[in-house]
């Protein structure tokens, strides 16, 4: 086959095919409200309905006025934030699509560490005497062991 200006019938067909693929993927992404996941809007977290109870609870919880989902559940540095979002996004969408996750949902140890770090980030002054002698084996004290209701209200 001879190349002329890099254009052949097969090449054009292939380009169209790839275009269809990219187009359907882009539409699916938009239909799934993909860009919302890049935002800080708590509504994005209930797109798939699983965290509806947590979202509803947060509406009435002590932290409602002061903190949204991302204030507690992702690290605050740019790289950490988007790495965590990507990792959670992959895990959650895989679980929801394949419908194979534990219910009721449970926080992972890694995510719990993120939450605790964010507790301390805001309440550093108040907690400095507690956090200064953290457990050498288990690390930082687990704030939510006792303060379980501050984020999502009484039930979760």
Residues that bind another protein (CB under 8 A): 1, 10-11, 13-14, 17-18, 20-21, 24-25, 27-28, 31-32, 48-50, 96-97, 99, 102-104, 106, 148, 155
Tokens coding 54: 């947590």
Nearer to another protein, 68 or 156 (CB): 156
Q: How far apart are CA 137 and CA 130, in angstroms?
A: 16
Q: Which two tokens stand for residue 119?
A: 């507790």
Cβ count within 10 A of residue 51: 19
Query: Which of 102, 133 has the CB closer to another protein?
Result: 102
Interacting residues of 148 by C-beta distance below 8 A, sequence separation 6+: none
First to last CA, the chain: 66
Nearest approach in angstroms of CB 134 to another protein is 22
Query: Minimum CB separation from another protein for residue 55, in Å?
Result: 13
Bridge partners of 139?
A: 135
Q: How far is the CB of 48 from another protein (least distance, A)?
A: 7
What minimum distance in Å lies between the beta carbon of 52 and another protein?
8
Residue closer to another protein, measured from CB, 102 or 138:
102
φ, ψ (nearest 5 deg) of residue 41: -70, 120
Which region, left, alpha or beta, applies to residue 106 given φ > 0 means left and ψ of -120 to 50 means alpha?
beta
User: C-beta of 20: minimal distance to another protein in Å?
Assistant: 6
Of 112 and 122, nearer to another protein (C-beta) is 112
Question: Any idea which residue has 């288990």 for tokens?
Answer: 138
For another protein, the closer CB: 66 or 97: 97
């Amino acid at each position: 086959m001879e190349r002329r200006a890099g254009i052949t019938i097969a090449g054009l067909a292939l380009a169209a095919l790839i275009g269809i693929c990219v187009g359907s993927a882009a539409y699916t992404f938009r239909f799934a409200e993909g860009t919302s996941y890049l935002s800080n809007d708590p509504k994005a977290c209930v797109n798939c309905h699983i965290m509806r109870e947590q979202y509803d609870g947060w509406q009435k919880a002590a932290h409602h006025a002061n903190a949204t989902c991302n204030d507690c559940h992702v690290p605050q540095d740019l790289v950490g934030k988007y790495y965590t979002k990507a990792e959670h996004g992959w895990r959650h969408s895989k679980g929801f699509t394949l419908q194979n996750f534990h219910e009721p949902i449970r926080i992972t140890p890694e995510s719990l560490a993120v939450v605790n770090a964010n507790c301390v980030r805001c309440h550093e002054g108040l907690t400095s005497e507690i956090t200064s002698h953290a457990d050498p084996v288990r690390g930082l004290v687990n704030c939510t062991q006792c303060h379980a209701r501050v984020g999502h209200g009484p039930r979760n």
